[in-house]
Amino acid sequence: MEEYVEKLRIEYTLYSLPGVDTRVKVRFKDERGNEVAHINIRWHRNELRAFSASVREKAERLASILNALGASVEAKEYGGEWRIGLTTGSISGSF
């Protein structure tokens, strides 16, 4: 997985609209520019939170990418949706 992750391009878009919490969408793209996974990041109270809701395959792919980058996350099912939860406590110094 580490070799695969090294080839990924990481792009982000900042969304900052009046009256709406600022968020960042991070996209992980392969060598051809196809999006293979994405995650949304925003402040929630006093914590930086990242989340993604998806089908199992996509959630597990995103978890693998984030873990290879140094995070400690797993895909979990909540109410029929597969999710990844990433908080500041699950990010290592290398991420």
Query: Which is more confidently placed, 69 or 44?
Result: 69
* Region 78-93 average pLDDT: 73
- How far is it, in rounded angstroms, from Cα 23 to Cα 78? 22
Q: What distance in Å separates the CA atoms of residue 2 and residue 55, rounded to the nearest whole number?
A: 23
* Two structure tokens written together for 2: 């580490």
pLDDT of residue 71: 85
For residue 57, give every residue at least 6 positions away whose Cβ sits within 8 Å of its Cβ, in sequence order, or none.
none
The pTM of the full predicted model, rounded to 2 decimals, is 0.77
3-class secondary structure, 6: helix
Residue-by-residue DSSP string for 18-41: TTS--EEEEEEE-TTS-EEEEEEE
Please give the average per-residue pLDDT across 4-30, as a whole number: 90
The structure tokens 């990844």 sit at 84
Q: What is the residue extent of each domain of the chain? A: 2-90
Report pLDDT digits (tens) over 27-41.
999 999 999 999 988
